[in-house]
Amino acid sequence: MNEKEVLEQKLKSILELDESIRFVGFLLSDGTLESFVRRLGLVPLLNSHESQKSYLHTVLRAASYKALDSKLGKSIWTITSKQKIKWLTVYLDFGMIILSTEINSDHNKIIQNTLEILKVYA
């Protein structure tokens, strides 16, 4: 398998971790969504323009966190809890994995299992 196929398989594996996961994507540091998987049968809550804006906001947040790395250490993951979903971000050296889940998801379990699949921060 080439690198893109390996990435897509990892995204699918993450999606399959829990029924509460709606979306899993790999976001480059410039805000480009490189690859993603979505739970079948779910209607996205954002249109494509709104999704792109959310990716840019994620990249900007990552940059602001990175400015504090020398004092606090590297960011590993973050969570934003909205009224309708949770937005999880796992930071990698070459981009980030973004997930949206149902509000009642066990985000700690999802994050720990995602880190295992990605084999980072072990």
SS (H, E, C) 1-15: CCHHHHHHHHHHHHH
- Rounded to an integer, the average pLDDT of 88-117 is 95
pLDDT number for residue 122 = 44
- Rounded to an integer, the average pLDDT of 69-89 is 95
Give per-residue pLDDT as tens, 16-68.
999 999 999 999 989 999 999 999 999 899 999 999 999 999 999 999 998 99
Q: What percentage of the chain has pLDDT greater than the value 70?
A: 98
Mean pLDDT of the chain: 93
C-alpha dihedral sign at 90, 57, 64, 6:
positive
Domain range summary for the chain, segments of one domain joined by +: 3-118
CA-based diameter of the chain, in Å? 44
Domain 3-118: which topology? Beta-Lactamase (3.30.450)
